[in-house]
A and B are shown apart, each in its own frame.
Chain A
């Protein structure tokens, strides 16, 4: 008996984790590859037969639609990245590196936008600038007599929304780059008599170049993987990208799973390539870090009177990003019938949408409860997994432990649509009754959110000095007790941050939830899509406002908790 039962509980943990990661990451990936090589569909007889074919690839590559989608994906991602980077770069510079007034409040509003589900943003811009129902268009028609001045259903409409969506991320990435650089390097330049511009040109930009390039790459990947904008706008605009092609072929009739799988493989390959370059660049940039792991407070330059201009411009950009969707949702949510603002519109306002929404539990309460349940379950599972993984990888000497890191991190390269398709097909094959339940969504979310959560706990775990565990070991404490009593409390901050991050993101994630949804497992984001498809804009807006409020409460709670725990640790 004892021969099969390893003495070291860490080996047991490693074994369990290996099985979990294989099941959650490797098998779904193999599923995609296998489906792309088969004519039969998952679950059909003969699907597991060994007669593979390149039929799907030949079909895809021989079809103009594939090449159009490739071109559209590149163009859409490229242009959106450029605009998002230009505006986000400006914001990062004026809010973090100058004495622009109200910088803190503006950046809070900017970053706060990240929690809002992307689909709400897209819908609010459609309500503003759609040729038929857009408020802005009807205002322009009433004032200048020009019909359909804006058309959101166009390539540029897509680019506009996608850029606005990515600006908060741009800002966060560049803020990180700012904090990684020692401000003394710039001060040293100033002290030699160099001007602010020469310092920017000769010191700041060359030193930040690796992180700037990395940020550009990550933005590009985000745009390539984006789903909400292409789904809601791309169809009418005639712009079809990889993600929508995969969704349409796998989830709407007539389905063509073989072809969807080849698109998924193409998307996956592309993202993997870009991410490899990204990590290669990140590694390269560490060479420039004189003191690693230390956060610097960036130096702010005095802009004199220009600071009012930068403040004004930043406010306008942030108004477009955060203010417009929120005000739009709020306004529409009080209307009984969707219409542009007017005296009549304002006098007809009522709470009828909220009442209607909550009188039918299928439309608000159940989905919100589902989302909450999915969020809590996913966050808890993910956090336990990544804490164990970062412990194994960083604090034990088990051979091959790096593999855990790679496996858990690998799904960062898997776009949501690909992941959704993989899990759907996988459970058509695996005889577990999870399709159409919350369980399948949770399982897919676990794989989806593991990489980012792993970064939170890894960073915390790295700061725990190994001597702390050694001290406990010498004192005769068991390994298991060590993990629970030494490591978990010490990485509490990282674990808490990871938990909330996963919770909030599973609340807003639409793609996977939509692909795996049935009648009994609809999450909040999916309900928004349903309300949208059936044209119930006013109820949708009310639901959006409720979701805003829940997410704000969640963030507030996380701040409160981290503050509380932070204080406890300081004492």
Chain B
């Protein structure tokens, strides 16, 4: 298990000191994949580099399998090359003057393995990423995806205690990125490796993780499993950063104490949604967040007693293959929704939408 406790790291610029990481703590359970997710500059890469030992945190504690790697109170700092971790870089960092085999074997040489053993382990690692037939190829004559596979094989070869991924897929094109993330997930589960993954791509985080940590401005905003994070975000930032959400501002009227369904007064009328934090008070300013795919067409307009009804006219609709996406103007509010591919939502058409109160979440509006 990898434990990170109260890590802080700040950088000095010419005029000021910027806190890149401010008090970050989490655990990565053995054999699990944890993702640090956030926009650029949120401190996720700095956190990763502190764990790798490529940066020295200002304070805090890092422990892997009961072994202390960093402890500011004991003035302990194990250098990066003694931490026994593997790392995959965004730029691949494949050594251009070596062959594929040499790149991977480099991680094993000088560690007391016999040469036959080095060869066996290298080919084992290459086989894991399906590159065993490319062993003799110069590293410069590989595609981006293949280079990234070599980087993964190199990180795996030494059987590290944990693997750190620093935005490994962001230099690849869309199709390849989707394939590679599945590959990384498969490998991680197959080997049962402990992994820490950094990305700014929310879809990648959802696809690949056992556990997601949302970061912003050096702080952890919230954490949880992918489904929980997607379905029941506790923070307005998470709701807007992950997936698509319609955010409808309003004011809490009442909260049902047993179901935590909150009634919210919005400019679209009274709407109901789930209070994920379970602590909203009447009168508080909130956002009601509803995902486009959770909106469905109401059977007919007569259902006026249904509190979760929105009606408006179609501003624009686009066919996306698997679904049709439509934007509705409901008064001054623009609502995005998704329907099955055969839906008839021509421009100008009046639509009536509804959603289950459990599908929407009500979150405290952020102080500006």
Query: A residues touching B (Cβ–Cβ < 8 Å)?
Result: 182, 184-185, 187-196, 198, 202-203, 206-207, 287-288, 290-291
Contacts and interface: CB of A to CB of B under 8 A. Distances in A.
Contacts of B107: 192-193
Given A193-B111, A194-B106, A202-B106, A188 B80 contact: no
7 contacts: A187-B93, A192-B107, A193-B81, A193-B111, A206-B97, A207-B96, A290-B96
Contacts of A291: 91
B89 A195 contact: no
A207 B95 contact: yes
B95 A287 contact: no
A330 B105 CA distance: 59
B95 A187 contact: no
B303 interface: no
Given A193-B158, A194-B81, A187 B96 contact: no
Given A189-B106, A193-B82, A288 B91 contact: no
Contact of B89 (A187, A196, A206, A287): A187
Interface string B149-164: 0010011001000001
Contacts, number: 70
B140 to A, nearest CB: 7
Interface in B262-292: none
Contacts of B95: 185, 188-189, 203, 207
B54 A190 contact: yes
Interface in B121-145: 140
A196 to B, nearest CB: 8
B15 to A, nearest CB: 14
A191 B110 contact: no
A290 B171 CA distance: 12
Contacts of A203: 95
Given A188-B95, A202-B106, A207-B95, A193 B84 contact: yes
Interface in B74-133: 79-82, 84-87, 89-97, 106-107, 110-111
B106 A190 contact: no
A288 B106 contact: no
What DSSP secondary structure best describes chain B's contact surface? loop
B89 A192 contact: no
Contacts of B97: 206-207, 288
The 5 A-B pairs at the shortest CB distance, nearest first, are namely: A192-B107, A188-B93, A184-B93, A191-B87, A184-B89
A198 B89 CA distance: 20
B95 to A, nearest CB: 6
A202 B95 CA distance: 10
B96 A192 contact: no
B32 to A, nearest CB: 21
Nearest to B96: A288
Contact of B154 (A188, A190, A287): A188
B146 to A, nearest CB: 14
Given A193-B107, A194-B106, A202-B106, A290 B91 contact: yes
A184 B106 contact: no
Nearest to A294: B91
A207 B151 CA distance: 18
Contacts of B52: 191
Contacts of A188: 87, 89, 93-95, 151, 154
Nearest to A187: B54
B96 A191 contact: no
A198 B93 contact: no
Nearest to B106: A192
B85 A191 contact: yes
Nearest to A184: B93
A185 B98 CA distance: 12
Contacts of A185: 93, 95
Contacts of A287: 96, 140
